[in-house]
Amino acid sequence: MDAWWKPGIENINGRTIDCVNNCPQTWSLPETIAADIIIICTYLTLVLKILPALMKNRPPYKLSKLLICYNAFQVFYSSYLVFIYTRYIIKHGIFPTRCPQGDPLKPVIKDIFPYFLAKHVDLLDTVFFVLRKKENQVTFLHVYHHSVMVTWAWLYYAYKPSDHFVVVGLINSFVHVLMYAYYGLSSQGPRFAKFIWWKKHLTKIQLIQFILVVFNMHYQQKLTPCPIPFFFHYFGMLSICSFFFLFLKFYLKSYVKQSKNIQETKTNCKDIEHNIAKNDVKIK
């Protein structure tokens, strides 16, 4: 793997760093993209081709105990990510400007790795949906979101590790605590339905998340003395914006339009009842 910095490059304070001995090794952009493509192609082939073919003539698996363990793990793991990123923000601020290089970057990379790992563990969501024959859950939004987040994780951890996305990791991990708590309860069947009345509000929280992330990324890139490459920055910005509009479309279709249809149905029922009562009076 190529080193991120070259020997003798000047840092933001005009000092030079011997990157052969002091700088952590990271991957080149082609290496990073190649590894990411392998992961995503494997994921897509598995959940869109191999597993659906295997499950075609099989009954759905319940996976109740496995899902309890998986979702509980995700809740606690995401809580751990919230803790480590909150700790970093308290120490270095919402918009870090320290630009760690050499040895100071090593603990930052150590804190990035759990988030990098989490984005790959999240891919199991789709696997479980397919095994349970929940095909309606394997939507374009679902698959696209997971694929993009894995790509982001590879660029962030393997290619350009920094403390640029600490707040992003914090916000996203907090939302995952709520999301996997919901998944855990909903996977246990109708008897737990009364505990997930906040499903509609979870989508609202996700939309708010995207707005906060876009603002943070914009000002982090603007205020930091060591901005990330423009292609990476705009890849992140465009990804989050696409998530926002796709989730907004889902919200409007699933809740606003559905609520409107229910209201129209109730109105029609009342009109029918009124007409029946009116005709009944005439007959008498």
| Dist CA 67 CA 36 (whole Å) | 27
146 is catalytic: no
- Please give the backbone phi and psi of residue 252, each rounded to the nearest 5 degrees, phi first: -65, -40
Quote the CA–CA distance of 164 and 73 in Å, as a whole number.
27
Q: How much helix, strand and coil, in percent to the nearest 5, is found in the chain?
A: 75, 0, 25
Nearest of 162, 14, 15 to residue 95 by alpha carbon: 162
Cβ–Cβ under 8 Å, residues 17 and 9 = yes
**Candidate list 92, 120, 142, 145, residue with the active-site label:** 145
Give the integer Cα–Cα distance in Å for 61 and 150.
Answer: 27
Query: CA torsion 208→260→199→188, rounded to 10°?
Result: -160
Instruction: Please list, in sequence order, all residues whose beta carbon lies within 8 angstroms of the beta carbon of residue 173, skipping any fewer than 6 positions away.
Output: 78, 79, 81, 82, 85, 115, 118
Which residues are catalytic, by number?
145
